Structure 1
Amino acid sequence: MAIQDVNASLRGPKASVVKYDIVAAINGAGLTKSSLSKDVAQRLTLIIVSRYNWLTNEISAGHMQLSALWSVDLRRVKRILTELRTLGILAVKRAGRKGLVTVYRLDLAKIAEITRPFWHVLAADIAARLDTAFPDENTVPAADEDSTSRVEQTADADASPTNVVKIDEARRQRADPVRQAIAREVAPPAFDRWIRPLIHERREDCLVFVAPSSFVANYVERQFGHKIERAIRQLFPEIRRVTFTVALNRPGFTGGQNSRRIARYGTDTEEDLEAV
């Protein structure tokens, strides 16, 4: 993502909220085992809050100024700047010369890349806003028919069970009218992050969505429930209820599963939940 594109996404009535989200993400990553240390994360946050111009993407500060701001000596200032430049977060925009300090720029896309693995520990609304401001470029888009044929040919050459399962799952999702209808209502970044992992199944006049955790189920229902219901009603007018529940050791979800169901949105019995 180009730097100018990122800055464009940080303009408008809700831009200030996203800026706070970025600061929260930096500090969250610094408190965890990431490439961004706690010490550097704190000082990066301070310089963003006090010296960063969001419109021009500039930080104007000399070593002496940074030394006073960060309460460290000049040697430590140079180390921190070197670490930030090595990470790709900071770059020189205009070199300092006599009478003028160095002007740096921030690569916000790089900050997003480094902090993305830790967004899930922040509030759900923060993660959603950051997903919208910084779409994951590694998300694989739905393949067209030609690419599908190429994938299937590759699978024929190496028809391992894993490849077959992946191809079948990709084909199933592309042909799923429910997912297609919801995708028209929900923005692509949010759809890929929150909706795509869900499993759904129709049960008489009810459509049940199964999530890997209560957090995901609650968040999807709260943030996208009305859009999902509208899409489903347009697709299947006979559907009267759209519910959200939690996976109970169901195939299709990997890792540890939350065996609890959501009482408000779940099924009536454990037997019903297992049948979903």
Structure 2
Amino acid sequence: MDLKRFTGPQAGSLKYDLLTAIAIAGLNGTPGFQTSMLRLVALVTARYNWKLDEVSIGQKELARMWAVDERTVKREIKRMIEAKILLQLRPGLRGRVAGYRLNQREIYSRSAPHWQEVGPDFLARMDGHAEPLKAEPPEKVVHVDFRPQAQSAPSTAWGRALARLAESDPELHRNWFASLDFQGFDAGLLMLSAPSGFIAQYVLNHHARRVQDAAALEFPGLRRIHIGA
């Protein structure tokens, strides 16, 4: 299923929301990732062809825009492609300018833990934009260092389960599990809540077994989990 395209009456809102997602992903990343996302925002704002959903620009022109040399441009574009933020549509060969497309799926995945920090209206819109992702099969996600989020007290059953998840995979815990809150446990059902519907569905689709295994020692008789938003 395709993500929403940048056409129609809601196109303006979708563009601004995507730029905001790029920005908050960068702001919550490492200093190097912050710089990369600032450069990407400048590129997208100035040169992105929203109708074709791509950007084509030469290295010399991009070097002038970013105030760097062409070698830095090559390294930066390579990093963005390896991080799956940009998808290369065609290489720049024999005088032909390379073409790139924003990878909405990766941008949404990286920024999702911080949508609620922008505001409830942004969170609601992004949940709508990302709705097609909820039916997607699992795919490899490249994680970045986000700022630590609040964790439940380790003296509680869910707090101990979170601590177990953090110990097994600190980055995965920081990016996806730390924001999950305990809501209740009844008749074998562990009820949790997430800051957004996207995070809730993503964890259920990709990491439900990991969460259930970590919680099983703390909740005897656990058979399944439910994550609401």
TM-score range, shorter chain: 0.5 to 0.7
- Which TM-score applies when normalising by structure 2? 0.59
* Equivalence for 2:76: 80
Higher relative contact order (CA 8 A, sep 6+): 2
Question: What secondary structure sits across from 1:164 in the alignment?
Answer: coil
Cα offset, 1:139, TM superposition: 5.1
Q: 1:29 touches 1:36 (CA, 8 Å); kept in 2? A: no
* Equivalence for 1:16: 12
* Equivalence for 1:164: 221
Change beyond 3 A, Cα 1:54–1:36: farther
- Which TM-score applies when normalising by structure 1? 0.49
- Whole-angstrom distance in 2 between the partners of 1:27 and 1:90: 15
**Match status 1:113 vs 2:109:** yes
> Aligned-residue CA RMSD in angstroms?
2.9
Counterpart of 1:6 (choices 3, 7, 15) is 3
* Equivalence for 1:55: 51
- Whole-angstrom distance in 2 between the partners of 1:33 and 1:140: 24
- Whole-angstrom distance in 2 between the partners of 1:77 and 1:134: 30
The C-alpha deviation readout for 1:134-175, integer Å capped at 9, x for no partner, is 13532537xxxxxxxxx9xx99xxx755262453x65xxxxx
Amino acid at match of 1:6: L
Return the index of the structure with the highest Cα Rg.
1
The C-alpha deviation readout for 1:166-207, integer Å capped at 9, x for no partner, is 53x65xxxxxxxxxxxxxxxxxxxxx7xxx35xxxxxxxxxx
**Structure 2 unmatched runs, 5+:** 135-201
Aligned length: 155
- Whole-angstrom distance in 1 between the partners of 2:116 and 2:45: 23
Cα offset, 1:125, TM superposition: 0.6
Amino acid at match of 2:96: L
Amino acid at match of 2:42: L
Q: 2:88 touches 2:99 (CA, 8 Å); kept in 1? A: yes
Amino acid at match of 1:84: M
Counterpart of 2:204 (choices 140, 143, 168) is 140
Aligned counterparts, 1:232-243, within 5 A = none
Cα offset, 1:35, TM superposition: 9.1
* Equivalence for 2:64: 68
* Equivalence for 1:97: 93
The C-alpha deviation readout for 1:194-244, integer Å capped at 9, x for no partner, is xx35xxxxxxxxxxxxxxxxxxxxxxxxxxxxxxxxxxxxxxxxxxxxxxx
Change beyond 3 A, Cα 1:106–1:36: farther
* Equivalence for 1:267: none
Amino acid at match of 1:53: N
Cα offset, 1:56, TM superposition: 1.8
Q: Percent identity?
A: 30
Amino acid at match of 2:221: V
* Equivalence for 1:126: 122
